Amino acid sequence: MKAKSPQDHLAHEIENLKQPLMGRRAISWALFLPALLAFLILPVLASLYPDSTRSFLETFGMRAAQQAQMEADKNAAPRPTPTGFALDASWNPGEVAGGHQPWANDCRVCHSESFTQVKDSDCLSCHKDIGDHVEKGKLDVTGLDGIRCAECHRDHKGQMALANQNKHYSGTNCESCHINIKANAPKSEIRDVGDFAKKHPEFRVQVATGPKKEDLRRVLLSDKEKAVEKTGLKFPHDVHLDKKGIKGPKGENVMKCADCHVGDGTGVSFKETNMKDHCQSCHELRFEPTLSNRQVPHGSVEEVLSTLREFYSYVSSNRVPDTMKVTGEILQIRPGSEEKKAPAAPLVTSGDAKTRATLAAKEMFEKTACLVCHEISKGPAVGDTKTTGSDLPQYTVAKVTPQHAWMPQAKFNHKAHDNQACTDCHKANESKKSSDVLMPSIEGCKDCHVGKQPVKNKIASDCGYCHGYHLPAHKAEEVDGKAKVTALAPSVLNTK
């Protein structure tokens, strides 16, 4: 039998192709139409007409409990009705972020309108308190026009991808605006900023210009004339951090920064320093050596004077002997100083209760106690007549500046820098005045940090490493029964 040539095989195939294809086409359509129905037609209908799927959801128990809970909560943001049987799940391009997992099978929570990109209003329905990049009404920045949340925050890239983007601004370029900030925001005090290692100005710090919470201004750390903190206190850090120790009631005491600066548990900031917990063990407020355990309260001038007036009135009316001797020593020296004065003991001096209280008040406010740490000046001739100390000499104590953030627009974690000594960054051991601003300069940070390009033994740091894109979070307050949202910190675009 003669074998078929290749030409015969080719002719045979040509003949087969000429035959009707109904059988094969039927199979193709049979496979194509269900796929078309399941992955296109039904999802589209379910997306366009979500209400019609509600009965199915309730029948099969899908999302009914969550939907009922959201309806019961009048304060909850309105949610779109999910698509029936999660028919649009097949369109999911990837796993959503961990924080969005509860809605992983409900596309309409974020995609409120069919076949449109995620809108900012969709994001803000949950993230109500997020701040803008520029304070509204402060400046018009054309470079931000039309930029949606989702252009920088890209979901469906895995559980941790969104968190990493939020930290390092993946896919964005801060320098595109900030390298020439005056072109985008002419009124801003921010200087042109580029790569941290190559083009970043000296840090701006927030300093207090007065005792009120709003008396805050951001200035360049290099501006020595303006970079001054008006604390209302007298506090020489160098004296308290002397390696040889500092004189106290119980002898020499070698102090550490952590004796006064105690972390608040966040790793970022510290608890407020106060007299009772951090100062009074050395700076006692005793006033009468013959009864050396008695102290005045660390409070207002009226409280101190009233305590003195009432004390000496009491001991005078109860005939405390005038021949009492000084039995208890009161430390009446400025810490770190060798000068020591003999304590005044009003009870062993002649005079009535007012005379003795006056002597004690002058000792405390002008020589031994209040004057050591506070700025003291003479007050009115007569005090508040509703207080018992109104007939004593009056004084005014400068108000102390409340604790505030030094760099409100920067991200910094002290816990991550535990391997460094406090004085490596904050030169407190060299500071002689409480008005000194002890924040580290940019050159100090560059000892360890560089810009985007890796360098041996350095930490590569992009903009997101230290800065946030949005203004600080907002908090809701009730004013006259109505919710009012206020920012927790001033704008980065301070135009004072």
pLDDT digits (tens, 9 = 90+) for 232-257: 999 999 999 999 998 877 788 899 99
Q: Please state, in angstroms and rounded to a whole number, the distance separating the CA atoms of residues 183 and 175.
A: 13
Share of the chain above pLDDT 70, in %: 76
Q: Please state, in angstroms and rounded to a whole number, the distance separating the CA atoms of residues 110 and 118.
A: 6
Q: How confident is the model at residue 331 (pLDDT cuts 50, 70, 90)?
A: very low
Whether 14 maps to a domain, the answer reads no
pLDDT given at position 249: 78
Q: Tell me, yes or no, whether 189 and 214 share the same domain.
A: no
Q: Please state, in angstroms and rounded to a whole number, the distance separating the CA atoms of residues 382 and 394.
A: 7
Q: Which of 206-215, 231-240, 323-332 has the least mean pLDDT?
A: 323-332
Q: Please state, in angstroms and rounded to a whole number, the distance separating the CA atoms of residues 434 and 238.
A: 10
User: The whole model's pTM is what?
Assistant: 0.68
Q: How confident is the model at residue 221 (pLDDT cuts 50, 70, 90)?
A: very high
Is residue 8 over pLDDT 90?
no
Whether 9 maps to a domain, the answer reads no
Name residue 384's amino acid. D
Q: Tell me, yes or no, whether 250 and 298 share the same domain.
A: no
- Supply the DSSP string of 52-95, one letter for each residue: GGHHHHHHHTSSHHHHHHHHH-TTSPP-PPPPGGGGGGGG--SP
Q: How confident is the model at residue 265 (pLDDT cuts 50, 70, 90)?
A: confident
Q: Tell me, yes or no, whether 421 and 432 share the same domain.
A: yes
The tokens for 307 are 């305590």
Whether 12 maps to a domain, the answer reads no
Whether 11 maps to a domain, the answer reads no
Whether 17 maps to a domain, the answer reads no
- What does the radius of gyration of the chain's CA atoms come to, in whole angstroms? 36
Report which secondary-structure segment, H or E, holds 27: helix 22-36
How many structural domains are present in the chain?
4
Q: Tell me, yes or no, whether 301 and 392 share the same domain.
A: yes
Of 68, 99, 128, the one marking the end of a domain is 128
Whether 19 maps to a domain, the answer reads no
Q: Which residues pair with 233 in a beta bridge?
A: 374
Contact between 451 and 196 (Cβ < 8 Å): yes
Range of the domain at 36: 25-128
Question: How would you classify the pairing of strands 251-253 and 459-460?
Answer: unpaired
pLDDT given at position 258: 93
- What is residue 436's three-state secondary structure? coil
Q: Tell me, yes or no, whether 93 and 144 share the same domain.
A: no
Contact between 322 and 290 (Cβ < 8 Å): no
Q: Tell me, yes or no, whether 45 and 93 share the same domain.
A: yes
Mean pLDDT, the chain, whole residue set: 79
pLDDT given at position 4: 58
DSSP one-letter code for 200? -
Of 397, 424, 449, the one marking the end of a domain is 397
pLDDT given at position 336: 45
Q: E strands, 390-441, where?
A: 395-397
pLDDT digits (tens, 9 = 90+) for 466-487: 888 887 664 434 334 433 334 3
Q: Tell me, yes or no, whether 413 and 372 share the same domain.
A: no
pLDDT digits (tens, 9 = 90+) for 272-307: 999 999 998 888 898 888 876 789 999 999 999 999
Q: Please state, in angstroms and rounded to a whole number, the distance separating the CA atoms of residues 45 and 83.
A: 9
Q: Tell me, yes or no, whether 393 and 293 share the same domain.
A: yes
Q: Tell me, yes or no, whether 35 and 113 share the same domain.
A: yes
Whether 417 maps to a domain, the answer reads yes
Q: Tell me, yes or no, whether 29 and 120 share the same domain.
A: yes
Whether 8 maps to a domain, the answer reads no
Of 128, 155, 172, the one marking the end of a domain is 128
Higher-confidence residue of 257 and 57: namely 257
Is residue 427 over pLDDT 80?
yes
Measure the CA angle with vertex 394, ends 393 and 398; round to 5°. 145
Q: Please state, in angstroms and rounded to a whole number, the distance separating the CA atoms of residues 283 and 279.
A: 6
Share of the chain above pLDDT 90, in %: 32
Q: Which of 71-75, 265-269, 313-317, 485-489 has the least mean pLDDT?
A: 485-489
Q: Tell me, yes or no, whether 234 and 91 share the same domain.
A: no
Q: Tell me, yes or no, whether 327 and 380 share the same domain.
A: yes
Report which secondary-structure segment, H or E, holds 345: none
Residue 304 gets the label, from left (phi > 0), alpha (psi -120 to 50) or beta, of alpha
DSSP one-letter code for 485? E
Is residue 81 over pLDDT 70?
no
The tokens for 51 are 């209400």
Q: Please state, in angstroms and rounded to a whole number, the distance separating the CA atoms of residues 185 and 173.
A: 17
pLDDT given at position 182: 81
Residue 351 gets the label, from left (phi > 0), alpha (psi -120 to 50) or beta, of left
